[in-house]
Amino acid sequence: MKKHVKANVSWIGYMDWELKKFHGDEYSVDVGSSQNAYLIQEEKTVLMDTVWTPHKDEWLNNLKSEIDLNDIDYIVINHGECDHTGSLPLLMKEIPNTPIYCSALAVKSLEGQYGKQGWDFHVVKTGDTLDIGNGKELIFVEMKMLHWPDSMATYLTKDNILFSMDAFGQHFACGELFNDLADQDLLWNQALKYFVNILHPFKALIGPKLKEIENLNIPIDMIAPSHGVIWRDNPNQIIEAYAKWADPNYQEDQITIVYDTMWNGTEKLAHAIADEIFNQSPKTRVKVMSVAHEDKNDIMTEVFKSKAIAVGSPTCVNDVLTSVAGWLAFLRSLKFKNKKAAGFGCYGWSGESVKIIEEELKRAGFEVVDANVRSNWNPEQEDLDKVPALVSALLGEVQEGADEEEITGNAPGKRVYRCSICGWTYSEEKGDQANGIAPGTLWEDLPEDFKCPICKQPKNVFNEVE
């Protein structure tokens, strides 16, 4: 069944009510999700994206019930990931000569996933247009690294709909389809969770991309993302929310305490820290979250909102608990900045956990305070007496430049630089021969207009890494 969106535009996606996990097991889905595909029926008929592979047969049968497939003039693929293209191979068996409009990197993505099928690709870039009749056209806008290098958005003139792909989306199954009909608490909770866990590593690109869209001088009456609700009531509200969340200085008056425990000693320290935050700053919101019992994506959403965090683990086999180790790796991948952090934990014998936590927090971009709490066996009063200093340090101001990655000091010619936006690395030893840079070319000898070949960001977003 298709659902009317506006004028000659319909939703023809899949409502995934039972979905519980996404990106493997990396993302928890609380209230289902949707894979949004759209049908535009003007003088030319356009299919905008498809749905995930497990639903391909049901989706294609539904599409056939609504339209003769041979009436589809164009297919637009805004992003190559299989939750949006998984049904494309089955569809193309039916209409193999239908032209596909997508970015250059989407061609690479689609052929990488589904093989070279001889499909009729038409590569587009920002500002390119496609006339679909009745005085309307599609305008394409590249959205690199939001959240894949191949991502783009498509704008429909006259109806003023921005098909935004993953940007502005949520994993939220909303049968009512539109934001004004949705449960508002669920909607905004899921919108923030999606932003933090999927788009946050690339948030430095969001502000410039919003400005680029603004400079196109296109009125936006609706935003139709690839997951979740369609923003038809004041669509600017989600744009404003993204601009606020993407601000590098965004944080709330909140401290989140994240920990795991073996015999409850580290848990006692977590509770003591929470109590002391209230003593020193009663208006500061406090969250205490166990990585063993709380959802990791929900924890990260709270970390995003926080101005500081405290992370605790007992020492286990000269290390932190594996639950905490995995969580710290995830924390590093989200690239939080301008936040303070502290470590705490109990130990019986060797006591390495707090030092390991502090090192990992520094690697993750946090300003780690000097104060910590290390308790031998169970917390005694002398351990608890260290808690006020830790809390006081967390409540202080973040030092300017605390988020900068440590320079390794490797010898020239052996250095490696990583793009802080997309993660692509440049090795001086290997060069970048695909882009004409010879092996052995030093970083400082690269042209000043050098840009990351993946996300097209300039040299100043790169950091030297080990």
pLDDT tens-digit readout, 360-405? 999 999 999 999 999 999 999 999 999 999 999 999 976 544 444 4
How many residues does the structure list for the chain?
Answer: 466
The stretches in the chain having pLDDT less than 70 are 398-409, 466
Q: Provide the pLDDT for residue 408.
A: 44
* Per annotation, catalytic residue among 73, 81, 276, 358: 81
CA dihedral sign, ordered 346, 350, 351, 356: negative
**Could you give the CA distance from residue 427 to residue 425 in angstroms, rounded to a whole number?**
6
Q: Provide the pLDDT for residue 404.
A: 42
Within the chain, all domains assigned CATH 2.20.28.10 are found at: 416-465
Would the pTM of this model clear 0.85, i.e. be above it?
yes
CA dihedral sign, ordered 227, 169, 107, 6: positive
Whether 122 is catalytic: no
Whether 166 is catalytic: yes
Q: Provide the pLDDT for residue 414.
A: 86
**Could you give the CA distance from residue 456 to residue 276 in angstroms, rounded to a whole number?**
46
* Per annotation, catalytic residue among 42, 49, 73, 166: 166
* Per annotation, catalytic residue among 4, 23, 71, 176: 23
Whether 27 is catalytic: no
Fold of 416-465: Rubrerythrin, domain 2 (2.20.28)
Q: Provide the pLDDT for residue 33.
A: 97
Q: Provide the pLDDT for residue 399.
A: 55
CATH code at 254-395 = 3.40.50.360
Q: Is 136 helix (H, G, I), strand (E, B) or coil?
A: strand
Contact 43, 132 (CB under 8 A): yes
* Per annotation, catalytic residue among 155, 200, 227, 428: 227
* Per annotation, catalytic residue among 79, 84, 171, 200: 79
Is domain 3-246 in CATH 3.60.15.10, yes or no? yes
Within the chain, all domains assigned CATH 3.40.50.360 are found at: 254-395
**What's the CA angle centered on 355, arms 354 and 357, to 5 degrees?**
65
Whether 293 is catalytic: no
Q: Provide the pLDDT for residue 262.
A: 94
Within the chain, all domains assigned CATH 3.60.15.10 are found at: 3-246
